Chain A
């Protein structure tokens, strides 16, 4: 059995989502090849070749792949799919965008967002915002799978796989990259952070996120997240949203501030190792999943927390 894993990268760096999806690929058994499709993406391919358990890295270096547009990328993956028994990608927005397109072109029913490999053709995946876990057996001869990265550990380094250059596929030329607004930050990414502090609508404004949440994130080296309500209200950017339709995270420590805990939010964070809830409503559902709850006004608690963390040496 041979698996093709689609790497998540920004041409210069390999993203942590690749390391995690590699663990799922390894769990299928057999050998794993990693496809790095990008533009001037040699550095990302080099990083992929250093991952333990990778047999070979395929590098498709072409301007058509610079922004991971689904149409040319799917055409490339389909052109390479022949010898592979399974094609995997992390369930990032890139993976979710391109892999179903690949699956349909191969006439395969994709298995989305797997959280566990039961056997090479049987997987667990959450449905209904994680309120039920379905075990499904894929009967298509080829498997096309996206991986919920929060459910798998990151593969370690220590490999030295050869890098093979592959030819680009014909670009369907029906889509064009026009621009992007990507936040550049020194903070860890939400999906790979060890600590996350998230705010809800009770924060009241974007300024309050900066004033109350950010200093604590700075102290802890944490990523910042938000509930859907806070994002909809314009207090936080959309890519901070944690939940069923936003990002699914599983950090060591998740601090939910002023978040009531709608099932759609819980779906995105309830696999965190330790959950702290700070909320003025002691009946808030978030307390039902929190390891440590603190009832009170966030505007007094957060400055205190900042002080206590300083005392504790952070």
Chain B
């Protein structure tokens, strides 16, 4: 069974981002970039399925600038077999990403697409659901556990009240939540080997997808700040302040 895993290059999880003073966006120059953490979980899950003998090939895809090839190399070092870079310098919104991925799914015919539930830059949480819609496939979002069979996949999902398990007919889309697995670090030999794995390149234009944005970003601003309050000396003082000063007890 072939698996397709989209991976996104985003500002590293540990970086405290800065809003540009002119309100035009977030400062991305000279900022450390990494693979979206949820996508690392997606790659890890795919590699485990391959190690269990349930998957035969893992194709990692990234949509972005030339440097997104590094993100694909990371996926290859973790265990993906080959990569496809859809090269563009434009900002590609989730709907357009889903359209590009649909074209690649039609070319590659995977039985399962595993992807992160959201990217930690735009926090949209849309692409997996949109890709499922465009393909007419079922979706197992926010996956906590997956059990892959020949024709079906059972996905246990993290939902507001607890967990829900759905059984999906393949082909299907799975989006990962935090506790699906703990991604491995790529070993040095695997990083070296990844450099030799095939990485193809295409563009949205070649695939015939219009990536013109549908959302116009009017401005980007700092969130309303919160000031540090006071330190209290005792529990009694705390309760007293919550009662009389804050009025919340």
A residues sitting closer than 8 Å to B (CB atoms) are 67, 69-71, 74, 92-94, 96-105, 107-113, 122, 126-140, 172-183, 189, 191, 195, 220, 228, 231-232, 237-239, 244-245, 247, 252-253, 263, 270, 273-276, 282, 287-295, 301, 304-305, 307-309, 311-312, 314
Query: Which residues of A have CB within 8 Å of B26?
Result: 127-128, 132
Q: Which of B136, B166, B229, B235 contacts A291 (CB 8 A)?
A: B229
Q: How far is the CA of A169 from the CA of B12 in the complex (A)?
A: 43
Q: How far is the CA of A74 from the CA of B133 in the complex (A)?
A: 9
Q: How far is the CA of A182 from the CA of B154 in the complex (A)?
A: 18
The minimal Cβ–Cβ distance linking B229 to chain A, given in whole angstroms, is 4
B129 and A108: CB pair below 8 A? no
How many A-B contacts if CB must be within 8 Å? 263
Q: How far is the CA of A27 from the CA of B131 in the complex (A)?
A: 30
Known interface pairs A176-B168, A239-B161, A294-B231; 13 further A-B residue pairs with C-beta atoms within 8 A, sorted by A's residue number: A100-B133, A107-B95, A108-B214, A136-B218, A175-B168, A180-B159, A180-B161, A191-B160, A238-B177, A239-B158, A290-B229, A292-B246, A314-B249
B19 and A238: CB pair below 8 A? no
Query: Which residues of A have CB within 8 Å of B231?
Result: 282, 287, 292-295
Residue of A nearest to B96 (CB): A109
B17 and A103: CB pair below 8 A? no
Q: How far is the CA of A64 from the CA of B243 in the complex (A)?
A: 49
Q: How far is the CA of A140 from the CA of B213 in the complex (A)?
A: 10
Chain B contact-residue range equals 35 or more
Query: Which residues of B have CB within 8 Å of A134?
Result: 217, 219-221
List B128-179 residues whose CB lies under 8 Å from chain A.
128-134, 136-139, 141-142, 144, 154, 157-169, 172, 177-179
Residue of A nearest to B222 (CB): A132
B126 and A100: CB pair below 8 A? yes
Q: Do A292 and B162 contact each other (CB < 8 Å), given the known contacts A128-B121, A129-B123?
A: no
Cβ contacts A to B, 16 pairs, < 8 Å: A100-B125, A100-B126, A100-B130, A109-B94, A112-B125, A129-B120, A131-B223, A134-B217, A135-B221, A137-B218, A178-B154, A182-B159, A232-B179, A288-B228, A292-B241, A309-B249
Q: Which 3 A-B pairs have the closest CB atoms?
A: A109-B214, A291-B229, A100-B129
Q: How far is the CA of A270 from the CA of B224 in the complex (A)?
A: 10
B68 interface residue per 8 A CB criterion: no
B130 and A93: CB pair below 8 A? no
B160 and A245: CB pair below 8 A? no
Residue of A nearest to B98 (CB): A104
B residues sitting closer than 8 Å to A (CB atoms) are 11, 16-17, 19, 26, 38, 93-95, 98, 117-118, 120-134, 136-139, 141-142, 144, 154, 157-169, 172, 177-179, 213-223, 226, 228-232, 234-236, 238-239, 241-243, 246, 248-249
Q: Which of A98, A110, A130, A239 contacts B223 (CB 8 A)?
A: A130
Q: How far is the CA of A292 from the CA of B226 in the complex (A)?
A: 12
A182 and B126: CB pair below 8 A? no
